[in-house]
């Protein structure tokens, strides 16, 4: 099953709609979707290494635009529904304390979530909810997402064939590691919140 999914993803990465699909996945992952764009980006670069930097650029732009949507979700929902929920639980004071602490350290949260498997969408929504400075949010998001996607692109462009061989020979192990990183990111969210 993993082998056919891998083959399908490689074929998808070579289709004429691959870049559009990557842009869509990167956009929605930054605000609501649980699967990171790396799951599509990596096979796309393996399938077409000459397009590695274009693929990374599209993932970066779409992810940052999706982050803007996440920021808006946090800002718009917290002003209405979120405020009522905080009032109901008498948690407005605690939220204000979190807001101050987060806005003091938000740049680090964005950097960490933007580069690691930690779900970036959580940080985009929290940034909007706490009204983190939007220009700071955008600049840090662009830096973090570009760093993540371009490092992957550079490594696959430079060492693509050995990495492709490694993935193809150890597909089960690669899948388990990727799944563990994804679950670990969601676990971190639960522990932190």
Tens of each residue's pLDDT in the chain, 193 residues: 556 655 666 677 677 888 998 999 899 988 877 778 887 888 888 888 899 999 999 999 999 999 999 899 888 887 776 677 667 767 677 777 778 878 887 788 787 777 776 778 888 888 898 889 999 999 999 999 998 899 888 888 888 777 766 665 665 565 566 667 666 665 665 565 5
- Tokens 């393996």, residue located: 46
Alpha helices (H) in 89-133, listed in sequence order: 92-115, 120-129
pLDDT confidence of residue 176:
63
pLDDT confidence of residue 65:
97
- Cβ-contact 33, 1 below 8 angstroms: no
In the numeric block, which tokens belong to residue 157? 């462009």
pLDDT confidence of residue 48:
84
CA distances (Å), origin 117, targets 29, 90, 121: 12, 33, 11
- Cβ-contact 26, 66 below 8 angstroms: yes
Rg (alpha carbons) of the chain, rounded to whole number: 18
pTM, entire model: 0.75
pLDDT confidence of residue 26:
92
């Amino acid at each position: 099953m993993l082998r056919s999914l891998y083959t399908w993803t490689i074929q998808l990465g070579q289709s004429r709609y691959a870049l559009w699909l990557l842009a869509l996945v990167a956009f929605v992952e930054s605000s609501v979707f649980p699967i990171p764009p790396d799951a599509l980006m990596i096979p796309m670069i393996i399938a077409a290494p000459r397009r590695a930097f274009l693929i990374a650029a599209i993932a970066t732009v779409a992810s940052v635009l999706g982050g803007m949507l996440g920021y808006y979700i946090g800002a718009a929902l917290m002003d209405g529904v979120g405020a009522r929920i905080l009032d109901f639980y008498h948690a407005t004071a605690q939220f204000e304390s979190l807001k101050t602490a987060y806005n003091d350290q938000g740049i680090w949260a964005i950097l960490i979530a933007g580069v690691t498997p930690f779900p970036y969408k959580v940080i985009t929504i929290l940034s909007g909810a706490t009204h983190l400075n939007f220009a700071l949010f955008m600049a840090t998001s662009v830096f973090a997402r570009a760093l993540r996607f371009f490092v992957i692109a550079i490594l696959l462009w430079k060492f693509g064939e050995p990495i492709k061989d490694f993935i193809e020979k150890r597909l089960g192990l690669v899948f388990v590691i990727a799944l563990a990183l994804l679950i670990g990111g969601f676990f971190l969210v639960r522990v932190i919140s």
